Structure 1
């Protein structure tokens, strides 16, 4: 993607951001990092200088807005000790404010000329001879310049001076004095903007975008990021077309013969399956049978749970013959409880990718898409996020199962909160219906891109031994509407399991 060799880049040391920038910042140029207060600019700047120190490069942090003590406190909050790893230069040292001969200062007195501040900055650069420079922040310089013309000339002066010294410069702008001023955009070699979004409920969401990178390809669009202990972590936007692998597209079975027959022999490796049905119809349990079959084949599976507490999930699955806890403890099943109020689409995709890339997971279950949607109600383009994720998993040879709970229970009132049937390679429809005075369940496959499948409807029962699936319901009409009409002479329905206590009801079905 880049005509600039990666060894000529100054890496920022921010996980994910160097990937977006195809290796980092081209050396010897001036860059702008802008964003409102609290978006993580100072943290990124500190990581930039610390990364340079790890590579034996000299760094200089020129601060006009924060004191050295505040910077060191920020660093310690992430577990970093600056010590003498790079130099911090306060353009207006706080102690000078107490000196009667130094009452004029850059920030606190309008009488001090901007040129004096520039001279002091240049002297600090000449003394330190840094390879990397951070200037924090441009808002103070903009206020001192007082006019857009003088401000632009000042930025151009800084650019040409730093270029002669060969340093890579990161300028910070908190957008407090004039958020619409694009002066530096035209001067800088590259521009990165950090944004913070406040949803109605849940944690703040942060994202960034590279607005400009002169003479360099980069990954465009918005990328989610978080600020954690240890610094900023960026989750590059997933582009499925960049990830292609070769694998055997053989069919995978569920170890339930009737279910495999309904699916035309099983699910093809590297495909996605949507399990669609009302609450309690057994969507989760069906997906877990495929996870158990994957583990039995010697493969690893991953389960991402949005809707249910893990203890309850383990308990009810074990009651129906699927010991999730044992599979998790053996390392064959990776279980990830997703906190719906703390997640962004980019971070979720990153979690899935981490399991697939590092643990070689071959079966992924997302339970459910309703929880995924509820976790990010104010995010746009969730279907595009899911499209890229499913395409990525397919191209890695990973088989994906996604559950979606429909609104309503029976009849024509059944509706889906979101339509992703066009995204999935296979779609299985689960339904309740009433017959012989009992509420029963029926399943059918209504789509399969990767081969033939039965066009029949089969009854199934959820009991203490798991799922039992019967023969095709050939003598019924209207099963999918919930109120069928029986036209045959003999009863094809499944016999009830011995004892009422062994017949697991809908709330235990998934």
Structure 2
């Protein structure tokens, strides 16, 4: 950590948020496929590990060995952190009650025993998809987020965008529950030009933040946010 902010570890993005996330808050990273949601989440974990923090990564999609492979491909040496400073939990999102109970029952103990300060849940949209009724989804997701808040960690949650609206999460819900919302998306100025990646800090409670849309690039070992450049 640096001062009273928790850095994601992507310099331009942290700058846009006044130095990073506010400790103990929940950040939702929303984007369609290929925009780098898991990369952003892993960068958040890696920044914590480098700073000597304890971290927990809850995966609902990727297997543990795949996550380790992604980090290895970025030339991050996570060997010293496995099963000590970094704990990866793979959950089956198809059994919502079991997964939620594991988070409620095991996460507080893990956070306490590890002294964890950073937690990732990737992606939460798989939970949301299990509910057919919007009222059930809202109720259960509210309970889910409140259970996370009780851990007093800084938490990053990833979510898919709505297939018909690239500016909203799949069920237009998690952005209202999170304290900070970062939107990742493709930008195509015209059909004759290349597709670019752009991000926006849509919302950040308790803090001033940049409202500009900035281009970013995912490189092998880092994410670059070009804060001095314009998308269009």
| Displacement of 1:139 | 1.6
Q: Which of 42, 67, 90 pairs up with 1:71?
A: 67
| Displacement of 1:115 | 2.1
| Displacement of 1:161 | 1.9
CA-to-aligned-CA distance 1:383-426 (integer Å, 9 cap, x gap): xxxxxxxxxxxxxxxxxxxxxxxxxxxxxxxxxxxxxxxxxxxx
User: What is the match of residue 196 of structure 2?
Assistant: 205
Between the aligned partners of 1:148 and 1:132, the Cα distance in structure 2 is 30
After superposition, residues 259-298 of structure 1 pair within 5 angstroms as: none
Equivalent residues of 1:9, 1:23 under 8 A apart: yes
Q: Which of 131, 150, 175 pairs up with 2:136?
A: 150
Equivalent residues of 2:128, 2:141 under 8 A apart: no
Between the aligned partners of 2:54 and 2:8, the Cα distance in structure 1 is 14
After superposition, residues 364-443 of structure 1 pair within 5 angstroms as: 380=232
Bigger RCO of structures 1 and 2 (CA < 8 A, at least 6 apart): 2
User: What is the match of residue 115 of structure 1?
Assistant: 97
Between the aligned partners of 1:38 and 1:213, the Cα distance in structure 2 is 24
Equivalent residues of 1:224, 1:235 under 8 A apart: yes
Between the aligned partners of 1:178 and 1:167, the Cα distance in structure 2 is 33
Q: Which of 179, 194, 219 pairs up with 1:228?
A: 219
User: What is the match of residue 126 of structure 2?
Assistant: 140
| Displacement of 1:59 | 0.8
Equivalent residues of 1:139, 1:176 under 8 A apart: no
Question: TM-score, normalized by length of structure 1?
Answer: 0.40
User: What is the match of residue 188 of structure 1?
Assistant: 178
| Displacement of 1:172 | 0.2
| Displacement of 1:56 | 1.9
Between the aligned partners of 2:164 and 2:141, the Cα distance in structure 1 is 15
User: What is the match of residue 266 of structure 1?
Assistant: none
Between the aligned partners of 1:33 and 1:68, the Cα distance in structure 2 is 20
| Displacement of 1:72 | 1.7
User: What is the match of residue 209 of structure 2?
Assistant: 218
Is structure 2 residue 88 aligned with structure 1 residue 88? yes
Between the aligned partners of 2:162 and 2:86, the Cα distance in structure 1 is 27
Is structure 2 residue 148 aligned with structure 1 residue 162? yes
User: What is the match of residue 36 of structure 2?
Assistant: 40
Between the aligned partners of 1:88 and 1:82, the Cα distance in structure 2 is 12
Equivalent residues of 1:39, 1:194 under 8 A apart: yes
SS at match of 1:38: coil
| Residues 46, 157 of structure 1: alpha-carbon distance in 2 compared, 3 angstrom cutoff | same
Between the aligned partners of 1:177 and 1:151, the Cα distance in structure 2 is 18
| Displacement of 1:79 | 1.2
| Displacement of 1:44 | 0.7
| Residues 71, 143 of structure 1: alpha-carbon distance in 2 compared, 3 angstrom cutoff | same
SS at match of 2:150: helix
Between the aligned partners of 1:235 and 1:20, the Cα distance in structure 2 is 11
User: What is the match of residue 50 of structure 1?
Assistant: 46
Q: Which of 79, 103, 108 pairs up with 1:126?
A: 108
- How many aligned residue pairs are there? 218
Is structure 2 residue 17 aligned with structure 1 residue 7? no
| Displacement of 1:176 | 5.6
Between the aligned partners of 1:168 and 1:220, the Cα distance in structure 2 is 22
Between the aligned partners of 1:132 and 1:152, the Cα distance in structure 2 is 25
| Residues 156, 177 of structure 1: alpha-carbon distance in 2 compared, 3 angstrom cutoff | farther
Between the aligned partners of 2:151 and 2:163, the Cα distance in structure 1 is 29
Question: TM-score, normalized by length of structure 2?
Answer: 0.85
Which consecutive residues of structure 1, in runs of 5 or more, have no partner in the other structure?
A: 1-5, 93-105, 239-344, 347-378, 381-510
| Displacement of 1:73 | 2.0
SS at match of 1:44: helix
| Residues 120, 176 of structure 1: alpha-carbon distance in 2 compared, 3 angstrom cutoff | farther
